A and B are shown apart, each in its own frame.
Chain A
């Protein structure tokens, strides 16, 4: 079975550029989560969707960050403009009601 698929696996870009991270959840899952992992802050939940609707975006750091889920099989996390402090590993996870979250392999983002 295909797990959560994230792309790209690695992204290096210059400060000020727009960055788009992509996620394909496990088929049939109805919840999707975006996390950020850094050495300083560990794993932080950024935003959570249920049935394609954003439920809680209180973890989104600022207006430069936005996330969408246009359908049940695709989500994006966008940073515009990007800053060096956005460098981190970004994880997408999905789950079905009543079941634990399954994580993708992450996108390692470096902003120069």
Chain B
């Protein structure tokens, strides 16, 4: 069975500060991993994905994530957050065509 755990329900960060969102997964094979962002009243937008190869992947909006097989983790980072980064972030695992399992999400609040 596949599953995703996002340990942090809510994170508050100051504008300009760095951000790291944690994601741990359980998957029986080589995982396909994703981070999506959801702004209020909108759908999910893909930030980045990991299929294979380089374990540090770059995404849109200045985000990056690192795949660590030994820790079953796929943490999302951004060096300097902007007020527009306030949103809910979802980590997902699965096959890229089918049956993604999503974490519960982490809400990010950005304070001025």
Interface of A toward B, CB cutoff 8 Å: 4, 31, 42-43, 45, 48, 50, 55-56, 91, 93, 95, 97-106
Task: Determine the main DSSP class of A at the interface with B.
Answer: strand
Known: A91-B44, A100-B46, A106-B43. A56 touches B97 (CB 8 A): no
Q: Interface extent on B, as a size class?
A: 10 to 19
Q: How far is the CB of A15 from chain B (nearest CB, A)?
A: 25
Per the bound structure, the CA–CA distance linking A62 and B70 in Å amounts to 39
Known: A91-B43, A100-B46, A103-B44. A31 touches B102 (CB 8 A): no
The reply to whether B105 and A98 form a contact with Cβ atoms under 8 Å apart is no
Q: Pick the contact of A102: B42, B46, B98, B100 (CB < 8 A).
A: B46
Per the bound structure, the CA–CA distance linking A97 and B103 in Å amounts to 23
The reply to whether B46 and A105 form a contact with Cβ atoms under 8 Å apart is no
- Inter-chain contacts of A91 with B (CB < 8 A): 43-44
- Inter-chain contacts of B49 with A (CB < 8 A): 100
Task: Determine the main DSSP class of B at the interface with A.
Answer: strand
Task: Give 29 A-B contacts (CB < 8 Å), ordered by A residue.
Answer: A4-B43, A31-B97, A31-B98, A42-B104, A42-B105, A43-B102, A45-B99, A45-B100, A48-B98, A50-B97, A55-B98, A56-B98, A91-B43, A91-B44, A95-B97, A97-B97, A98-B96, A99-B96, A100-B34, A100-B46, A100-B49, A101-B46, A102-B46, A103-B43, A103-B44, A103-B45, A105-B41, A105-B42, A106-B43
Q: How far is the CB of B90 from chain A (nearest CB, A)?
A: 7
Chain A: CB-nearest residue to B103: A42
Q: How far is the CB of A22 from chain B (nearest CB, A)?
A: 15
- Inter-chain contacts of A102 with B (CB < 8 A): 46
- Inter-chain contacts of B97 with A (CB < 8 A): 31, 50, 95, 97-98
Q: How far is the CB of A103 from chain B (nearest CB, A)?
A: 4
Chain B: CB-nearest residue to A97: B97
Q: Pick the contact of B43: A42, A50, A99, A104 (CB < 8 A).
A: A104
